[in-house]
Amino acid sequence: MKPIFISYSSKHRDLTRALAGVIEEQYGAGSVWWDHALESRSSYSKQIKAALEEARVVVVLWTEGAMISDYVYAEAVVGQAQGKLVNVRPADMRFSDIPEPFNIHHIDDAEDHARVLATIAKVMTGEPIPTRVPLHEIYFRQHGHRLIDAKQRRLARDPREIAPTELLQAKFEVVGYLDATGIGAQLIDWCSGERPTAARLIHGPGGLGKTRLMIEVATKLRQQAWTAGFLDPPHEPLDATLKQRWQALDQLLAHGDDRGLLIVLDYAEGRQDEVKRIAERLSARPENDTRPVRLVLLARSAGEWWSTLHDDTPELQRVFRGTAGGPDVAALPELSTGQQRLDLFDASREVFAPLLRAQGYVLPSGEFPQERRLRIESGAGYARPLAIQMEALLWLASATPEAGATGVDELLRRVLGLERNHWKKLIGALDEERTRDMARGVAQVTAVQGVSARRSTEDLLMADDFYRGQRTARVAVDPVVRKLCRVYGNPDGGVGPLEPDLIGEHHVATVGDPELVDGCLRWIEAEPTETQAKRRRNFLTVLQRATQPEHGTLANGQAVVLLDHLVSMHAKALAADLVAVMMDTQGALAERVDRQVDALDDESLAAIDTELPIQSLSLMDLSLHVAERRAWLARQRLAAVDALEDGAADQRETILSQLAASAGTLGVRLSALGRREEALAASQEAEDLYRRLAHDRPDAFLPDLAGSLNNIGSWLSALGRYEEALAASQEAVDLYRRQAQDRPYAFLPDLATSLNNLGLRLSNLCRHEEALAASQEAVDLTRRLAQDRPDAFLPNLATSLNNLGTRLSDLGRREAALAASQEAVDIRRRQAQDRPDAFLPNLASSLTNLGVRLSDLSRFEAALAASQEAVDIRRRLAQDRPDAFLPDLASSLNNHGGDLSELGRHEEALAANQEAVDLYRRQAQDGPDAFLPNLATSLTNLGNRLSDLGRREAALAASQEAVDIRRRLAQDRRDAYLPDLASSLNSLGLHLSDLGRREEALAASQEAVDLYRRQAQDRPDAFLPNLASSLNNHGGDLSELGRHEEALAASQEAVDLYRRQAQDCPDAFLPKLASSLTNLGIRLSELSRREEALAASQEAVDIRRGLAQDRPGAFLPDLASSLNNLGLRLSNLGRHEKALATSQEAVDIRRRLAQDRPDAFLPKLARSISTTSVVLTALDRQTEAAQAAHEALEILAPFVERYPETFGDLARTIGADLLRYSDAAQQAPDRALLERVARALDGGETAAEDPAIEALKP
């Protein structure tokens, strides 16, 4: 039995034979019965009837002959009655001509082998074909365009009809597909994955094979009974057609008898509205719908168009979410160097050769030159499959570029030469004039990306100003139209663009001139309104792509000339399209617009300015230039009006408001580039203007004035002018508060934002209680707003909570600060789950703040987890958008390094801070104003991390570089950077002291004290705490030089300052007072003022004991440190028993702490045990003293092995004590332990070889 029966008309045996061959290739030889197998020895009708009854599938091939054949009709009736019918038609057979009822059945195209085989397989399992045609089939039958197109076309049967460029087009699949990178197989696996709905963006330059890749993937999926192919743009803009198209797509998404659905959108950067709509539908799929649906976008790049679209579309974020949490975006790999390229070249030659021979080409007789094979194998220009195939085509046509011509542009130029030769072969001899006319027509059609009807083609050619006065009637263009239709025509009567895209773009650039592009624009203006924007952007995109490097210097230059012309003549009309194409497609357009900004009129600039986004890294410089020019023009207009004696008041107000808006925009643009003084000047100009305007019309201009004041507050604060910043922010709050009383829904959000800013300004001046009140009010307002409109205001609430956490922390209310920061994280985590690209950056920011809050409470493991998550998020974001997120990643790495250091993970901490420095250093090279301050901060942190590892010289170098940077910054902006310089000088002093360079250390700390003292005279609330901290460090440096009286004076002043501050704000300053009292005790002890030293140390213990009772996690480590010092003070006074009890309490605390955080507290435990051993020997308890010293050294030994430079001095001290106490106790010390430490100090050598550890030897 043959399972598949084909019913057909004998007039179409060749078509039937080809179809039978396809089926037998799938099901095996002999699996198909058709009447060529009839045997003459028995009745034909009986044989046919028997075969028909036995078959499991009846394939009816509906051709012109079959449609009038009673036999075919009868066999179709039998097949339908038995549920085994499969309808197939050739592409030229109209559905309406197929007899009823079969014309409303599911019908496959004979050329779509995958679909035919899939239908046969389905019927063979007992599932009959649908007898009600789905909407996408009806759409195809009515319009002739498939909703989901396989993008597979057949070349003309006559080789002489085939154009050279057709051999290179993906849709003709001339050369077999080579999945060289394996991405095709990966996509099949991805489509077959468990997720019901998933989407991916694949991007890469033209000619890399994106379309061909997806044609192959779709073909393989159709063979597995999927519906798979390309969703092309609508073929016509009629509302009824568009509605029918979306209805068909909705039905296909919601219901399907297939195993899955793959939709591919090519040129996605220009189809963003469609992408959004499809993403919305996919996002709304029911959870119980398990049929796999996949969406793939293809684009030249994944630049700003993608990040903006993705960030602004929550549904798209959900659908495109990858396995790592970020968007599923993949760059199509280039063809790697080597044999894969040569394999593609050889395969292309083999396929092209017979076609070119049939066209009359005399093929080369020799071998392809070895040097050219080497060039293909390793040359950068051959990373694209299209370049390799062009090389093969040109070689066969004896048009190979010369040896020195290695660029893709030369390949493109020569393929276009072959294409012109093909015109002449196909349409007859063309003289120079007719060749020019044909070339211009092809360029026009390609520039507008195809024309749908003959009448439109005529209009387009008549619009070319090159022929001004000549093409006044349609008859004038008829010869060219007929030639275009002959070569590039389609069945609808339209003309398609020259493809592949790279070749078409190159042709437009090299043929186009201002007359041609003006004609294209004029033609677009006459097209239906709903298609014009799309046409304009396609047109500009072709020219923008022609400026990309692969087109070469000559074509780039010609494309630039065309863009310059369009900008100079049509900027106002094209503004939205120019900005959209600049953001969507890489090229020279932004630079060309920027070059002409000063020559454009204000209307054109206003149109461009309106379209430019508020934040765009790629358009930042252009945005600034436009803002500067608009402000200058507005000032010129104002001066002109002022010069008129009878200048109209309303005209003056209009110009003033325009100037104010321009100045405000200019301030924002300048600030984005780190040019804050200029930003401030521009914003202040806007403020002055709005203030004058608001005097006469407050309702119209007070909101603008408040907005300007907010900006001014930010710029002033960034410049360190905190009092002025506060005044501006306060006035903004006052204005918004009055407006919110009358119109709360309009102005409460602005009031909340202004209150947040006010809190920051107050905090800068250390007016922490007032800052907290402002931030709390902002939280209260946004919480109420979020209750009514959570989608709109929950993000604002999270921001306000972040600020509130910082304000609470400033006041030492750390648990409350943690609660606020945790709520902010919780909000943003929920939002990031739904819209990751919109809220993951904010979640990372909140996690960073949460880590700081947790660290303040000494919850370092939890702090580390938060900072690690922030780093992970920002690292993923920076991979896709480095310009936007690398600064944030560097900031998170700084915090992360601090958390790692607190846990004793010093190598990891150093790596994190080093990466932060490296990132900021690279950014500071491009934007020094914006990133040098961050680099200095990172260098200071790096110095601390290096010091933790005992790498003191490297620590000093990092700290010195930070000082040098901040000194340069402070020369230009003293108010902004002198405080930072003083901070860096403090750190520098510490690192100099570590190296024994005490005079230099003293000079650094003295300069820091002097700087802070001068600043504290003007702003005591802001800088007295810093002065106190510097005095503490300065006292230490004086002490190191034996200047004990001066050291005591410095420490005493620090205590006095902190004591006064602690009276006003105990939560914030009592911990610092305790630290200063500890230092004061040391200074007094050095002068043998032991009773006073004891009193200071006791007060420090009392303060920290009280703090630790309320918050043990935060203050027990500090209490242990103070108890250690107190024990020494007591011992100095001979009060040894009490000293022992005190020291033992410190040991007990640190022993408990070390159980949870051994790396952080074991070294400190060793120090406390060592202190106890000193007290024990003073009590003549030598054996116990020796045991304590032994335990201390044993605890410290592994740390000495890891960090000999950091712990070497302490190890030597304890080791010497151990030897001395053991001798006093008349017992032998642990020789193995001493040798272990000695080897560590000597870099692994034996103890005897290191004189520096002689004290450790028995």
Span 279-299, mean pLDDT? 92
Question: Is the pLDDT confidence value at 1249 over 70?
Answer: no
Contact 1024, 1016 (CB under 8 A): yes
Do residues 395 and 439 both lie within one domain?
no
Q: Which of 584-588, 1111-1115, 1249-1253 has the lowest mean pLDDT?
A: 1249-1253
Do residues 171 and 311 both lie within one domain?
yes
Which tops the pLDDT comparison, 788 or 804? 804
Do residues 325 and 363 both lie within one domain?
no
- Percent of the chain at pLDDT exceeding 90: 60
Do residues 386 and 254 both lie within one domain?
no
Confidence (pLDDT) at 351: 95
Confidence (pLDDT) at 1111: 79
Which tops the pLDDT comparison, 981 or 642? 981
* Residues near 1182 by beta carbon (within 8 Å), at least 6 away in sequence: 1176, 1221, 1224, 1225
Confidence (pLDDT) at 1251: 46
Number of C-beta neighbours around residue 907 at 10 A: 13
Do residues 456 and 507 both lie within one domain?
yes
Span 707-731, mean pLDDT? 90
Which tops the pLDDT comparison, 912 or 321? 912
The answer as to whether 903 is a domain residue is no
Confidence (pLDDT) at 614: 74
Confidence (pLDDT) at 1246: 47
Confidence (pLDDT) at 884: 67
The answer as to whether 928 is a domain residue is no
Contact 533, 493 (CB under 8 A): no
Residues belonging to the chain: 1258
| Mean residue pLDDT across the chain | 89
The answer as to whether 1202 is a domain residue is no
d(CA 717, CA 236): 56
Question: Is the pLDDT confidence value at 704 over 50?
Answer: yes
Domain range enclosing 442: 431-531+539-576
Kindly state the tokens that stand for 1061.
């501050």
Do residues 681 and 732 both lie within one domain?
yes
d(CA 1094, CA 1133): 9
Which tops the pLDDT comparison, 172 or 813? 172
Span 66-94, mean pLDDT? 90
Question: Is the pLDDT confidence value at 1132 over 60?
Answer: yes
Do residues 303 and 345 both lie within one domain?
no
Confidence (pLDDT) at 739: 92
Do residues 152 and 240 both lie within one domain?
yes
| Residue of 518, 413, 411 whose CA lies nearest to 460 | 518
State the angle between helix axes of 514-526 and 432-447 in degrees (0 to 180), rounded to the nearest 10.
50
Q: Which of 83-87, 140-144, 821-825, 1215-1219 has the lowest mean pLDDT?
A: 140-144
Confidence (pLDDT) at 454: 92
Contact 706, 686 (CB under 8 A): no
Confidence (pLDDT) at 928: 80
Domain boundary among 736, 765, 794: 765
The answer as to whether 684 is a domain residue is yes
Q: Which of 133-147, 643-657, 915-929 has the lowest mean pLDDT?
A: 643-657
Angle at 620 between CA 619 and CA 621, to 5 degrees: 95
- Looking at the structure of the chain, the number of domains it has is 5
Do residues 250 and 124 both lie within one domain?
no
Confidence (pLDDT) at 1258: 41
Question: Is the pLDDT confidence value at 1255 over 60?
Answer: no
pLDDT in tens, 1205-1223: 878 889 999 999 999 999 9
Span 1101-1114, mean pLDDT? 88
Question: Is the pLDDT confidence value at 325 over 70?
Answer: no
Q: Which of 158-167, 770-779, 947-956 has the lowest mean pLDDT?
A: 947-956
CATH label of the domain that carries residue 40: 3.40.50.10140
| DSSP secondary structure letters along 832-885 | HHH-HHHHHHHHHHHHHHHHHHHHHTT-HHHHHHHHHHHHHHHHHHHHH-HHHH
d(CA 1050, CA 1083): 9
- Amino acid in the structure at residue 133: V
The answer as to whether 968 is a domain residue is no
Tell me phi and psi for residue 149, to 5 degrees: -95, 135
Q: Name the region of 465 (left: φ>0; alpha: ψ -120 to 50; beta: rest).
A: alpha
Contact 593, 622 (CB under 8 A): yes
Question: Is the pLDDT confidence value at 292 over 50?
Answer: yes
Confidence (pLDDT) at 310: 81
Confidence (pLDDT) at 615: 67
- Distance linking the first and last C-alpha atoms of the chain: 101
CATH label of the domain that carries residue 672: 1.25.40.10
Number of C-beta neighbours around residue 42 at 10 A: 10
CATH label of the domain that carries residue 229: 3.40.50.300
d(CA 989, CA 998): 8
Which tops the pLDDT comparison, 619 or 385? 385
The answer as to whether 686 is a domain residue is yes
Q: Which of 78-92, 830-844, 847-861 has the lowest mean pLDDT?
A: 830-844
Confidence (pLDDT) at 645: 61
Span 933-952, mean pLDDT? 90
Confidence (pLDDT) at 492: 74
Question: Is the pLDDT confidence value at 40 over 50?
Answer: no
Domain boundary among 298, 333, 368: 333
Q: Which of 111-125, 989-1003, 1237-1251 has the lowest mean pLDDT?
A: 1237-1251
Span 718-726, mean pLDDT? 84
The answer as to whether 464 is a domain residue is yes
Span 572-589, mean pLDDT? 93
Question: Is the pLDDT confidence value at 42 over 70?
Answer: no
The answer as to whether 31 is a domain residue is yes
Question: Is the pLDDT confidence value at 1088 over 90?
Answer: yes
Do residues 205 and 242 both lie within one domain?
yes
Angle at 499 between CA 495 and CA 505, to 5 degrees: 105
Kindly state the tokens that stand for 152.
């597979």
Question: Is the pLDDT confidence value at 1194 over 60?
Answer: yes
Span 584-612, mean pLDDT? 94
Do residues 467 and 561 both lie within one domain?
yes
Do residues 326 and 350 both lie within one domain?
no
Tell me phi and psi for residue 465, to 5 degrees: -70, -10
Domain boundary among 333, 359, 392: 333
Contact 676, 715 (CB under 8 A): yes
β-partners of residue 542 are none
Confidence (pLDDT) at 134: 84
Question: Is the pLDDT confidence value at 1248 over 60?
Answer: no
- Amino acid in the structure at residue 46: K
